[in-house]
Amino acid sequence: MTDKTSAATSAGRMPPHAACADEVLRTQGVLAHLGLDAAAATERLRRHGPNTLPQPPRRGPLARFMLQFHNVLIYVLLVAGVITALLGHLIDSGVIFGVVLINAVIGFIQEGKAERALDAIRNMLSLRAQVLRDGRRLDIAADRLVPGDIVFLASGDKVPADLRLIEVRGLRVEEAALTGESVAVDKSVEPVAAQAALGDRRCMAYSGTLVVHGQATGVVVATGAHTEIGRISAMLGEVDTLTTPLLRQMAAFGRLLTVGILAVAALTFAFGTLVRGYTAAEMFLAAVGLAVAVIPEGLPAIMTITLAIGVQAMARRNAIVRRLPAVETLGSVTVICSDKTGTLTRNEMTVEQVICADQVFAVSGVGYAPHGGFTLDGSEVNVAAHSLLVEVARCAVLCNDAALQCDGDDWRVVGDPTEGALLTLARKAGLEEDFEREAAPRTDVIPFESEHRFMATLNHDHHGRGMLYLKGAPERVLGLCALQRGRHGDVALDRAHWDAALHAAAAEGLRLLALAVREGEDGLKTLTFADVERGGFTLLAVLGLSDPPREEAIRAVARCRSAGIQVKMITGDHVATAQAIGERLGLAAEVQAISGAQIEQMDDDALQRIVADTAIFARASPEHKLRLVRALQARGEVVAMTGDGVNDAPALKRADVGVAMGRNGTEAAKEAAEMVLADDNFASVAAAVEEGRTVYDNLRKAIAFILPTNVGQGGILFAAVALGMTLPITPAQILWVNMITAVTLALALAFEAPERDIMARPPRDPAEPLLSGFLVWRVLFVGLLLVGGGLGMFVWEIGQGASEAFARTAAVNALMVGEAFYLFNVRSFAGSILNREGFFGNRYVLIAIALMLACQAAFTYLPAMQTLFGTAALDVAAWTRILGFGVLTLLLVEAEKALIKNLNHRRKAGHTRTTP
């Protein structure tokens, strides 16, 4: 036997799905009845390598761990820790270094998402295979397969390599993991066009897919990395993971903060030594104290805690987050690209129409649960009054190999999903399958085979009457029918009528299945193809089936669109099916679907133009999905991508937020995603977006709260140096204020509920900086208020003859009380909080203030704290002044809100008047 094969199709050679089976066998140099000999198999294994996916190069654990520290904000924190240690505050330094270390450990543990995704794909490959070698059938390890091997498949097998089928018997293969096709695909041996999409290559069985029915023999045409699943694996390894908008913003914020801190510290040092005549040693300590004051060392901890609380909130809404920053990224999503099957739809086939000769019955209820009924022209019908419906239901039960199982409220099908839908239809019509099968037991059967495109059963009742039931593709069944059954009995088949009815149903995206019967077969005991082919059947009905959209998904799509978020459906299904589902989901006013073949014809620029205005993409391959995500990102969109199959993994990894299905998703999809849906429901994506927006709001509120504290402390020190005063706050007291602010007050903002208009706003601009112009103003405004209060309190107490310790204690408490009142303000950026909800709407705010007051009481009155921080006990008069400053801060910020709101209202009104 000559060895002249190649695992991959060579340049100019016809691909195996486009060549006839005999030609593929000749190309592979193998005889179908003998298989490879041992020598040829060994040589091919040496040349092509084992039938496994290659291991990618990986960074060592030390390199992965050290890279966790490669972040500007981490550098700032490390500098803060070093400075704090130099000042002798080892406990505070230890806290800062602890925060950095914890962040690094979390990042290290969650690093390597791509490696785990590749591992998960490898685990999908079959472990064993039945092959023909030297004329003998053998069971071998699947990794020993080589191109040219003859492989046998049976129901329940996982396809071990890419096979060109050479013989099939009723073969159906579940290919959803590769193609997204929601229903098992019927296979045949006839070649297809070279340009046929993956889901249309009926003569191929691909590695990692599952045989759900029938048997087949195929010849291996690709192994390992050359298979379709291997190609997706390689693509996944090449996809870069994008950083999240929050991390990009925090990096920019960290750089800006670093430059600002160094500039202010240097300016302070120069001014003090050159203008005020301080010694270099004195000014170095002052500059260090200023740097410590300005660095918000509690911010990373607050950010992590806020994200973690968001993770818990999402988990309660069936969205499990695998990477913390993804929580916030959901809040900035502008486009959601969703798989169809199981996410937007139920992934449960449902009969929606019963098309009879002179009536069309609509069927209510979705999924396999037998809840629903029949309507005719919008009116409920009594099944008993329509004998034809009963006959249709009986045929659906008897010409059927599936079974329905119920576990509580959860109904599922054992067997083919389409046959499960027929059993549900029969139950809606009042029939029980066990009773019907006992009343008319099956005598013989011709199973469904793709070559014949029908299934037939011979049944006899207990009186000996024989009925031949038939179900299959409408064009095939209609060709065997002479009559049609209607309200007034049997009449000659009207083929023109049925062609029009079938065309109309197909245009609605329905899958069609015809049911027919031939009575009077009392003497027939065995069933052959000749018995069926002689025709003479009576057509009962054509059923229109679909995988219907989830009701909650329809509402969620509408909610997302009202929030300014585009929803795009990317599916492996046919264009007509995708378009019909898209119309029912309300994806666009005029739904237009683009096919994968059309995407193939577009360059990247053209795709970027078309992707903005198209909501549905059908017959999409893994490359198409990846290109669509990249095209949207090139337009500046923040993209969330949902999926469940291996074919979705590259796009899930590339998207800003990858969302995998928890119930029916493959492990490869879950490992490539940042978030997993516990209920496989699109509505949970919309809920997660709301939580993400809430998290981002709360992060901004925390920043708007923490930074004024740092500005206030830094401003007090800078003003003291500029005025030549004694420092109103010591570095140790600064660290105390920062710690208490972060641990108590700022933490309460992580528990803020979403504001009422959160899903009525458009998505935020991903290019918008974390510190927007408004936020910078608010930070400076409140920071200057705190400077005035703290510095003013110090100057007042010194002027009244108080000691430095007393004055500094008053200044620190003025800062803390001012922040406590400002905490109420920051609960809403624009809305007034001068109401019951504003003061009592978040119990954690009240708890945090109580904790802060307890800490300040210890700071002020405990002898040990007085020794450690240089504080002194305050009297009632001092506390009265401090409380007055806090109330003044609250009222001034509320006045600023009202003024800005009024100015914005006037600006909008003026714009409206001048707009033509």
* Active site amino acids: 339
Q: Are strands 537-546 and 481-486 parallel, antiparallel or unpaired?
A: parallel
Phi-psi region of 12 (alpha: psi -120 to 50; beta: other; left: phi over 0): left
Where in 286-366 does DSSP place strands (E)? 319-321, 335-338, 350-355, 360-363
Distance in angstroms (rounded) separating the CA atoms of residues 9 and 40: 19
Give the residue among 31, 37, 102 at the shortest CA–CA distance from 69: 102
User: CA quadruple 584, 589, 595, 600: dihedral positive or negative?
Assistant: negative
Q: Which residue matches tokens 């109309």?
A: 504
Provide DSSP, 839-908: HHS-HHHHHHHHHHHHHHHHHHH-HHHHHHHT-----HHHHHHHHHHHHHHHHHHHHHHHHHHHHHHHHH
User: Which token pair is 432?
Assistant: 């029980």
Give the residue among 239, 179, 174, 226 at the shortest CA–CA distance from 671: 239
Distance in angstroms (rounded) separating the CA atoms of residues 90 and 88: 6
Distance in angstroms (rounded) separating the CA atoms of residues 728 and 443: 99
Distance in angstroms (rounded) separating the CA atoms of residues 701 and 828: 8
Alpha-carbon distance values, 254 to 106, 134, 391, 748 (Å): 20, 68, 73, 23
CA angle, 302 then 303 then 305, to 5°: 65
Give the residue among 689, 751, 746, 755 at the shortest CA–CA distance from 326: 689
Distance in angstroms (rounded) separating the CA atoms of residues 113 and 116: 5
Q: Which residue matches tokens 């990224």?
A: 329
Q: Are strands 162-174 and 136-141 parallel, antiparallel or unpaired?
A: unpaired
- The span from the first CA to the last CA of the chain, in angstroms, equals 83
Burial letters 335-353, b for 16+ CB under 10 A, else e:
bbbbbbbbbbbbbbbbbbb
Provide DSSP, 593-612: EEEHHHHHT--HHHHHHHHT
Distance in angstroms (rounded) separating the CA atoms of residues 336 and 659: 10
User: Which token pair is 676?
Assistant: 């997993």
Contact 28, 219 (CB under 8 A): yes
Burial letters 60-78, b for 16+ CB under 10 A, else e:
eeeeeeeebeebbbbebbe
Phi and psi (nearest 5°) for 616? Answer: -130, 130
Phi and psi (nearest 5°) for 445? Answer: -150, 145
**Which segments of 575-681 does DSSP mark as H helices, in order?**
575-585, 596-600, 604-611, 622-634, 649-654, 667-672
User: Which token pair is 685?
Assistant: 């994506």
Alpha-carbon distance values, 307 to 87, 90, 251, 352, 699 (Å): 32, 28, 17, 44, 8
Distance in angstroms (rounded) separating the CA atoms of residues 102 and 725: 40
Surface-to-core class of residue 36, CB atoms within 10 Å of its CB (0-12 exposed, 13-18 middle, 19+ buried): buried
Element (H, E) at 185: strand 185-186
Surface-to-core class of residue 613, CB atoms within 10 Å of its CB (0-12 exposed, 13-18 middle, 19+ buried): exposed
Distance in angstroms (rounded) separating the CA atoms of residues 568 and 338: 6
CA angle, 110 then 113 then 117, to 5°: 140
